[in-house]
Structure 1
Amino acid sequence: MDRDPTIQAVCRLPPLLAAVGELIGERFFLAQVEGREPLAGGGHQQLHRDLSAQRPGDTAVALAFFDDYGPENGATRIVPGSHRQPPGAPPFDFADESRSVQLSGCAGDILVFDAELVHGASLNVSGARRRSILVGYFSEQLYASHLETAHLRNIRMDTSERFEPADFVFGSI
């Protein structure tokens, strides 16, 4: 899937790259693409972070939805502001759903967020399709460590292309 020309075109949409550039704030690369389709009765994830274990803001994630999504078909839950914990804050309780927000929207929507934002997919109770791709973008500084683990994540696409945030500015697109 990660080498499909249509999927690669979605990953390079200028408004998407502008949003990623705003989050990462420095030169970045397209690191991975994974398909998602939770089946009826499946898809639930505990709240979590897609941590880079490096430094805040060095990775961004995009979820591009190919079907309408909402509570019935397992849409993503997020915890707003959880990627910017104040200094000295207690560790996040991933079992506490009280601050999570269930998203809903339409096919064609793309959700872009800092990989440290607490999030998780929900249970697909209806069995309705919720196809999406999960796209990861990393700061250029993470390229060497990315190459070391790419085979473990079954990444087949070329990840050598670089994107400059200044090349994708909202309002000029």
Structure 2
Amino acid sequence: MYEVLDELGVRADLLAPQQLSELDELGYCRFDNFLAPAQISAALGAIEPLAPGTGTLRLTDLLETGPVFDPLWLRPNLLAAVRHLLGPEFRISAMTYRAGRPEHGGQVRPGDAADRVGPVRWRVCTAIVALVDFTPENGATRVVPGSHLDYGFVPPPAHEDHPDQALLVGQAGTAWLVNSHLWHSNTVNRSSSARHAVFTGFGRRCGTSGFDPRPADAAIERLGSAAYLLM
């Protein structure tokens, strides 16, 4: 996979030293201005006709939807951060959209990977891209920095706060890469508007995924051979 990542322009020097230390020590890093306003509008416009209903809206298989979602994952700096966590042998496992409506959210969940395998051997991570401003009121994701390294970490019960938790807040277009072994959960949306976000999962190829490893022919043709090999 080294050649694939090289072809996609993935280099270690695309990440700032602070981002590297945050990935290692905190378990996540941030990308400001990850999406331009036009890209945000295009993504929301593509999602709107697909997402009727109430409660927390969820769409899967965005990888197959079309080029509008490609900039949310096919980015050299993001892929460099994924490689830093997982090593070069990784693949994208799924891209989903979630919108927590007012008074919904707050699901309690441990890290996506229950076992703590240790640095350089992490198995999964998730990119979170904010399509609207993430605020303390509208259900931003909460994390406990460093919990991926704490083998004795005890998560808070039910919906209670953890004294060391941090909220992932930022303007629309901000992205975070989160080590999925880090403890994290949603918070309740206390605002009057839905919180729109896209989540892209990455996993080491040695793991199991449960997803069809071959995307649709149209996606292969659109993305090219290097990006296809990451799928």
9-18 vs 34-43, which moves further? 9-18
27-36 vs 46-55, which moves further? 46-55
The equivalent residue for 1:131 is 196
| TM-score, normalised via structure 2 length | 0.60
The equivalent residue for 1:43 is 105
Distance 1:92 1:24 in 2: 25
> 2:116 touches 2:149 (CA, 8 Å); kept in 1?
no
Q: Secondary structure at the match of 1:136?
A: strand
1:83 aligned to which of 148, 154, 176: 148
Q: How many residues align?
A: 153
Gaps of 5+ in 2: 1-61, 217-226
Structure 1 or 2: more helix by fraction: 2
> Are 2:127 and 1:62 aligned?
yes
Task: Let me know the Cα RMSD of the aligned residues.
Answer: 2.4
Counterpart AA for 1:42: H
Q: Secondary structure at the match of 1:64?
A: strand
Q: 1:79 to 1:31 in 2, by over 3 A?
A: same
4+ runs deviating over 6 angstroms: none
Gaps of 5+ in 1: 164-173
The equivalent residue for 1:141 is 206
Distance 2:86 2:80 in 1: 10
The equivalent residue for 1:162 is 230
With a CA cutoff of 8 Å and minimum separation of 6, indicate the structure with the bigger relative contact order: 1
Distance 2:133 2:97 in 1: 16
The percentage of aligned residue pairs carrying the same residue is 26
Q: Deviations over 1:74-105 (max 9, x none)?
A: 001110000111xxx43523426221112210
Q: Based on CA coordinates, which of the two structures has the bigger radius of gyration? A: 2
Distance 1:129 1:157 in 2: 30
Distance 2:88 2:214 in 1: 24
| TM-score, normalised via structure 1 length | 0.78
